[in-house]
Chain A
Amino acid sequence: MMDLNGLLLFTILLPLVGALGMALFGRYPNIREGITLTTAIILLLQVINIYDYLMAGRAPEAGPFEVLPGLAIHFAVEPLGMLFALIASTLWIINSIYSIGYMRGNDESRQTQFYICFAVSLFGVMGIAFAANLFTLFLFYEVLTLATYPLVAHKANEEAKKGARLYLMLLLCTSMGLLLPAIVWTNALAGTMDFTPGGILEGNASPLVMTVLMVLFMFGIGKAALMPIHFWLPAAMVAPTPVSALLHAVAVVKAGVFTVVKVIVYIFGIDVLAANGAGDWLLYAAGFTVLVASLVAVRQDNLKKRLAYSTVSQLSYVILAAAILTPISAIGAALHIAAHAVSKITLFFAAGSIYTAAHKTEISQLNGIGWKMPITMTAFAVGAISMIGLPPTAGFLGKWFMLSSAVSADKWLAVWVIVLSTLLNTAYFLPIIYRAFLLKPDVTGDHGEAPLPILIAISATATGTVLLFLFPGVAFDLAERMVGR
């Protein structure tokens, strides 16, 4: 029996060990992919293990390992991080299965590098999820940024290089230029960087300083894609589909909004912010992003681009929810992180599936494709419905909590934003489903469904989207614990 601290450390380091194994066996694709899957499964089991301990009230903790006096790497398990880790490790398995199908199906080069970087990204995600202070979080945040750069640049053509440059520069610029100063400043003000329920800044900073800090944090967390720093998401669309899934569903943007929620809840403190109004502007910024991104999404013809802008708007839902600053809205934010993860990964898998089987990327080419690829397009429909926020899918839960908290907190702006954007969501998702199933097929292309691994993955996530609605227990539990109820 491993002791608790060892368990946590082992879990975080596991993907890194896996990456090492993949590097060693890079010559043998089967062994390499076997290692990927094994690592992913063990990781999930470990995370579930940790979840059990958390529920039993014995949250594991590792560290602090002091880098410098006052600067320590420290891991601890708390509910929100637990949720994030659960989502990421579950989706990694599915994504791995999908990747194997996709990479082999499209005969991509540099597959070993792909799998290694993927595993390192998961290492980053685990670190972010279990970080107990801002420094640790930042450390793994940057690990994630750097590990995903080779993935985005995977195709190594001019377009991919350009997209990857933009991706890297924007994320690093924001994180180093804004987030890091904010962290240092926080540390200078509060003397600590630990995530503490209720926040650490109360009494240490004036409302004005807090507002400035808030701006630094929110725009510094570039991964949360708050406008106007959302450009990296569409730019990163040059990457292969599994990578897009990683960016949009499993890891990157989730890490962004996760960090946002974490900072608002554990650094500023919901009550503190609600009292002094330092976070009021965030409501407007997030609302603006939700609406504008949705409007842009409507105008995109490229399927992945449309999904990308949809992600931008959905992310701001989470920020919006957090900015409402009530415990219930925070629960909504947490639930939406989970819901968006499963739904968006379904949508991306579907897009990739279409690309693999039919080599189509534009929405205008999809007429009648639903009858040729029924499984794919059904899954797509499920994902789309979830994004719009209709039952019986996971998206409904998050939106419900957000709406009810907005109403009860008298934040009518938020209410209007949510209602309007739901309409817009419908406007950009329904036409796709309509085309796929109800329009006459084009003459071009004689293709069937995508390879089997892809279909397995896609069905799993679509089912997950529905299941999360029917059995939200785990996610709900964790979200409630986060706000301390």
Chain B
Amino acid sequence: MSTAALDASFNLIQQLPALQVVLPMLGSVITAMVRKGAIAWFVALAVSWSMPFVAVVLLHEVLVHGTISYAMGGWEPPLGIEYRVDAANAYVLVIVSLIGAVVMPYAKRVVDADIAQENQAWFYTMYLLCLCGLLGIVITGDAFNAFVFLEISSLATYAMIAMGRDRRALVAAYQYLIMGTVGATLYVIGVGILYVMTGTLNFADLVDRLQTVENQRPVLAALSFITVGLSLKVALFPLHKWLPNAYAYAPSMATVFLASTATKVAIYLLVRFYYSIYGPNIELSGYSAGLVLVVLSLLAMFISSFVACFQQNVERMLAYSSVAQIGYITLGISFGSKLGLTGGLVHLVNHAFMKGALFMCTGAIMLRLGSVKLDDLAGIGRRMPITMAAFTLAGLSLIGVPGTVGFVSKWYLARAAFDAGQGWLVFAIMASSLLAVVYIGRIIEVAYLREPNNITDEFAKDPPLSMMIPTGILVIACFYFGINAELTAVTAERAADAFFAYFGAAGQ
């Protein structure tokens, strides 16, 4: 137990790691108690807007002063639960909380449209719990605590998806529930084996103790359990089947939020295990985990993009595209080099920006037209000019046109591929982004070059400002960080360093 704590007074900076998780939890409790949609929205907004401040200050503290360790309940690690913030998870915290902050103003109108009045407060409760869970997964330094947060966020997610527009949302939520639970359980089995072998759950402690374990076979088995379990959450091809339905039938707000954050957080955890915990102990390539990841990433990039080309529902199309984009991230991770990891992490934030913007646009279309079928979008470019302009720009970013964030990601991945002596991968990366041209191009062509039908004529117009401004912010981010990537890239590089530097940090 901490002894020096008694005399210390309340120190905000010192308490930030806890606040990052506690505030959303408190917010969710309040929203559940007030029961009024409007008030609940306001609470959720306040919490979401406070989150980026916490995350950014944490990131700043970490970059300036080094790793922060926060002992929950004053129980010192490795015995107690430790919240351990380094550049890597501070970076992900910033992404998740920023997306949450941007999404909230957007949420008001779409939630009004999608969800019955009496359920709105519950919806915001679920959103805040999900946010709490996601931030918790990222910030914690304890393998089992991560599982608990994983389940908190997942359960909230299932509930959010089930609140979708029609009955298909229920089935989508059910499928996700089954897959997600199996994934989380596999993860916890892996953690269990690790615990049996090492007697600790603390990440930093695990790093040390894994080296003293003589029998490496169970440790590898644990890694495979964790990999498969988290891959289900990541929606790594071919474990992605839950994702398209979940994204397509969830309420628009949930789609925007989940598409930009949920899978990213699972990727973070996977990287944490691969690079920080196993990294020093097991050569990634030695056990061909790297190779497997390369193959799966390539399959994701091509097959999912290809499937996306034939979708009639735009949200499903974008969902398949998400699976493909996740392939890019895992491809970056699979190189096992700092450059590749940086590329993956840069794409983590970049993809959050562009997919967030794209789903916001489809949400706006859904709001006005009640459908996102491709054929119903005919001529929408003239009726909803700003929405479609934003869609086009974000789509360009997805394709990876130079000057957008997509290009920055691709540049890193391509450089990493050359550095790893696998230049042929560059062609694969570029070829799959050409598939993005096909599916984005289809939408744009229908939207601009077809004549509007009478439904479009009557109902389509740009959404209210409260929705356009968040969309605009994300689109601008897509371009600003494409032209001046200093901030994202350098931070991602520090984050990559932090993943590698975990080893040996345990004793500090």
User: Which residues does A use to contact B, with CB under 8 Å?
Assistant: 65-69, 71, 73, 135, 138-139, 142-143, 146, 150, 153, 156, 161, 165, 168-169, 172-173, 176-177, 180-181, 184-185, 187-188
Contacts and interface: CB of A to CB of B under 8 A. Distances in A.
Interface string B369-411: 0000000000000000000000000001001111100001011
A143 B449 contact: no
Contact of A143 (B403, B418, B490): B403
Quick one: which of B426, B430, B450 has the most chain A CB within 10 A? Answer: B430
Given A67-B485, A168-B437, A180-B430, 20 more contacts: A65-B483, A65-B484, A67-B483, A68-B411, A71-B411, A142-B402, A146-B401, A153-B449, A156-B449, A156-B450, A161-B445, A169-B438, A169-B441, A172-B399, A176-B433, A177-B427, A181-B427, A181-B430, A184-B411, A188-B419
A36 to B, nearest CB: 21
A187 B415 contact: yes
Give the size category of B's interface with A. 35 or more
A138 B402 contact: yes
B486 interface: yes
B427 A139 contact: no
Given A65-B484, A67-B484, A172-B437, A184 B415 contact: yes
Contact of B489 (A69, A153, A165): A69
A184 B419 CA distance: 11
B484 A181 contact: no
13 contacts: A69-B489, A135-B402, A138-B402, A139-B402, A161-B445, A168-B437, A169-B437, A172-B437, A176-B400, A177-B427, A177-B434, A184-B415, A184-B426
A185 B418 contact: yes
A184 B418 contact: yes
Contact of A173 (B423, B434, B485): B434
B133 interface: no
A185 B403 CA distance: 19
B363 interface: no
B246 interface: no
B448 interface: yes
Contacts of B403: 139, 142-143
Say what secondary structure dominates the interface of chain A: helix
Given A68-B489, A173-B434, A185 B484 contact: no
Interface string B486-497: 100110000000
Contacts of A168: 437, 441
Given A67-B485, A168-B441, A181 B426 contact: yes
Q: Name the 8 nearest CB pairs between A and B, nearest first.
A: A139-B402, A188-B418, A184-B414, A181-B426, A156-B449, A176-B430, A68-B485, A68-B489
Interface in B434-470: 434, 437-438, 441, 445, 448-450
Interface of B: 396, 399-403, 408, 410-412, 414-415, 418-419, 423, 426-427, 430-431, 433-434, 437-438, 441, 445, 448-450, 482-486, 489-490
Contacts of A135: 402
Contact of B423 (A138, A146, A177, A185): A185
A66 B486 contact: yes
Contact of B441 (A71, A165, A180, A185): A165
Contact of A181 (B402, B414, B434): B414
Nearest to B396: A146
Quick one: which of A139, A168, A173 has the most chain B CB within 10 A? Answer: A139
Given A69-B489, A181-B430, A184-B426, A150 B414 contact: no
Contacts of A67: 408, 482-486
Contacts of B411: 68, 71, 184
B448 A150 contact: yes
Contacts of A150: 448
Nearest to A141: B402
B384 to A, nearest CB: 16
Contacts of A176: 400, 430, 433-434
Contacts of B414: 180-181, 184
A205 B401 CA distance: 28
A109 B482 CA distance: 34
Contacts of A68: 408, 411-412, 485-486, 489
Contacts of B445: 153, 161, 165
Given A68-B489, A168-B437, A73 B483 contact: yes
Contacts of A169: 434, 437-438, 441
Contact of B449 (A73, A161, A180): A161
A143 B433 CA distance: 17
A177 B431 CA distance: 6
A65 B403 CA distance: 12
A172 B401 CA distance: 9
Quick one: which of A73, A172, A181 has the most chain B CB within 10 A? Answer: A181
Contact of A185 (B426, B433, B449): B426
A482 B483 CA distance: 30
A135 B407 CA distance: 11
A143 B479 CA distance: 13
A73 B483 CA distance: 8
A95 to B, nearest CB: 24
